Amino acid sequence: MEIFQEPIHYQNPLLCIKVWEFTSTGPLAHIKPPTQWHYHKEIEFILVKTGKHRLYTPERIFDLEPGEVVVIGSSRLHAAQRLSESDLSYIVLHVDLEPYFDPAMMPYYRHFAEIMRPLEDLNYIFAENEQARADVGRIIEQIHDEIISRPIGHEIAAAMHIKHLLLTLLRADSRGLLQSHEYVDRDTIGPILAYVEERLSERIELKEVSRMAGMSYHYFSKYFKKTMGVPFTDYVNRKRIAAAERALATQVESVVDIARSVGIDNMAHFYELFRRFNGCTPKQYLRRMTPDAGASAHD
């Protein structure tokens, strides 16, 4: 099994977007579980135009036909393959949402920043809402056309389309996963989240983090939970386990060494957290990376 961090080279660095149409032709080999997985910081949307496409994540398999769409969250392990003898054509949109978190977006920050749950959970929208699926597919095509053709003002148009895409998801969210919440001060929270990301292998002291935020220990604890939806220690643990998931799949180190590399020395605690966030042990998680090629999911 091969797994790598895919570098995403933006066509326009100011927009933090890469969008491209891919085609796959020729004889189709026997369909087997994937052997090549990858991940990247950017979230990914895929729109199938012709043919049949299969996308794997550790927990789910999405079989996509023409007109169907799927979204994969930031740093999420995934793999893909063509499913039919007919030619496959699909558009892939990679986007880093950080530049799009302006004041109007901040009430929804913790959702699109995947603080509480992965964006992959939103794929139920495309399975249940035909209009939303068509609208998002059309927006992806519009972003592709703007970036590739580069007419005057394409930067403005592409940025507007990204916002329109996010708005479409918000309004089609019948399960209430993207509900508006407490306004988030990005200047306060942004550096804190970056600090955590950079120091997952180290001891992260709440006292030091609250000092960075210019708040008392107790006030910061309440502030973080109120704005982010989860306690600070829970957020840190989620990030540690997410890093451990990628390390398990990409490195040859033992589970003990991986746990230590993400800042968890107590193995009982590590296994407890891994089960809490994944519903399985690290060994069972790795087994998911070679799923049954016959299974599929759409929610």
The architecture (CATH level 2) of 2-172 comes to Sandwich (2.60)
4 pLDDT band, cuts 50/70/90, is low
297 pLDDT band, cuts 50/70/90, is very low
Sign of CA dihedral 211, 214, 219, 220: negative
**Percent with pLDDT over 90 in the chain:** 65
Q: Dihedral angle at the C-alpha atoms of 136, 141, 147, 149, nearest 10 degrees?
A: -150
CA atoms of 85 and 179, how far apart (whole Å): 42
Residues 106-138: pLDDT tens digits? 889 989 999 888 999 999 999 999 999 999 999
The whole-number average pLDDT for the span 210-235 is 92
Tell which wins on pLDDT, 182 or 77. Answer: 77
Min mean pLDDT across 7-16, 148-157, 177-186, 282-291 is at 282-291
> How confident is the prediction for the chain on average, in pLDDT?
89
- CATH number 1.10.10.60 given to 186-287: yes
* CA-wise closest residue to 69 among 138, 126, 23: 126
The whole-number average pLDDT for the span 3-19 is 86
Does the pLDDT at position 83 exceed 70? yes
Instruction: Say which amino acid occupies 20.
Output: W
139: Cα separation from own chain's centroid: 19
Q: Which whole-number Å values give the CA distances from 276 to 78, 203, 238, in the listed order?
A: 21, 21, 10
pTM for this predicted structure: 0.85
Q: What does the domain layout of the chain look like in residue ranges?
A: 2-172, 186-287
Residue 178: count other Cβ atoms within 10 Å of its Cβ.
21
